[in-house]
Chain A
Amino acid sequence: QVQLVESGGGLVKPGGSLRLSCAASGFTFSDYYMSWIRQAPGKGLEWVSYISSSGSTIYYADSVKGRFTISRDNAKNSLYLQMNSLRAEDTAVYYCAREIVGAVFDYWGQGTLVTVSS
């Protein structure tokens, strides 16, 4: 069965950095697009970043462009999100999600909480 397991969240000071990981299993990871989606406490969903199956195409939301970097290691079935220059407004649960055509997110991880606070 498809499983996505995020890790790497935690408490970080404004301006700090954090690297999230997402371990995938139960499907051929290298065949699928992947995305990071976040949800601030008590708020709705916000798409953060996308990476194509090969890693050759990458997109970011304007709110994180220049600060976050998405990457993947298909040999390790893993997705990553390097987050730099973190701000209070980046506080959220971060989900990795498998994406199929038409920006459909068919499987989601359980999420990892990132808290940016001094």
Chain B
Amino acid sequence: QSALTQPASVSGSPGQSITISCTGTSSDVGGYNYVSWYQQHPGKAPKLMIYEVSNRPSGVPDRFSGSKSGNTASLTISGLQAEDEADYYCSSYTSSSPLFGGGTKLTVL
């Protein structure tokens, strides 16, 4: 199985909105509503931000939202803040093993 496809980098200014895409196949992203998103700051462990496509764990700001259309999932961050600068990874359940995306570096200009 190949990793899910994410853009290598995205950027935005404080206050703006950005969207990170995560493209898979009908065997992963498109086949299940089990897409998750993780935020990772340098030298830190990943942190769950979105699960089951669009659900936010307790404590995650509502500026973070998720969606899915077909084989592509998306993470949108609105009202960008400096502390949002990090790497973001999508993940999908599959019938064999969890798949991760290659990661997207978000730069807040």
A-B contact count (CB 8 A): 61
8 further A-B contacts with Cβ under 8 Å, apart from A102-B32, A103-B93, A104-B36, are: A95-B46, A101-B34, A102-B34, A102-B36, A104-B52, A105-B36, A109-B45, A111-B45
Q: Which residues of A contact B91 (CB under 8 A)?
A: 45, 103-105
Question: 10 nearest interchain CB pairs?
Answer: A102-B34, A103-B98, A103-B93, A108-B45, A45-B100, A104-B51, A44-B103, A47-B98, A102-B93, A44-B102
**Contact A95 B48, CB 8 Å, known A103-B91, A106-B57:** no
Q: List 19 A-B contacts (CB under 8 A).
A: A44-B3, A44-B100, A44-B102, A45-B89, A47-B97, A47-B100, A95-B46, A101-B34, A102-B33, A102-B36, A102-B51, A102-B52, A103-B36, A104-B34, A104-B36, A104-B48, A104-B51, A106-B57, A110-B45
| Closest A residue to B45 using CB positions | A108
- Please list the residues of chain B having a beta carbon within 8 angstroms of any beta carbon in chain A: 3, 32-34, 36, 38, 44-48, 51-52, 57, 89, 91-94, 97-103
In A97-118, the 8 Å CB interface with B consists of 100-111
Q: Which of A61, A104, A106 has the most CB of B within 10 A?
A: A104
Beyond A45-B103, A105-B46, A106-B51, whether A59 also contacts B34 by CB under 8 A is no
- Verify A59–B97 contact, CB threshold 8 A: yes
In the bound assembly, the distance between CA atoms of A47 and B98 in angstroms comes to 7
Count of chain A residues with a beta carbon within 8 Å of a chain B beta carbon: 21
Inside 8 A of A89's CB, which chain B residues have their CB?
Answer: none
**Is A73 among interface residues, defined by CB-CB distance under 8 A?**
no
Residues of B within 8 A of A46 (CB): 100
With CB as the reference atom, state the residue of chain B lying closest to A96. B45
- B46: chain A residues at CB < 8 Å are 45, 95, 105, 108
Distance from A70 Cβ to chain B, minimum over Cβ atoms (Å):
13
Q: Is the CB–CB distance between B45 and A103 below 8 Å?
A: no
* Beta-carbon nearest neighbor of B104 in chain A: A44
Q: Is the CB of B97 within 8 A of A106?
A: no
Q: How far is the CB of B20 from chain A (nearest CB, A)?
A: 14
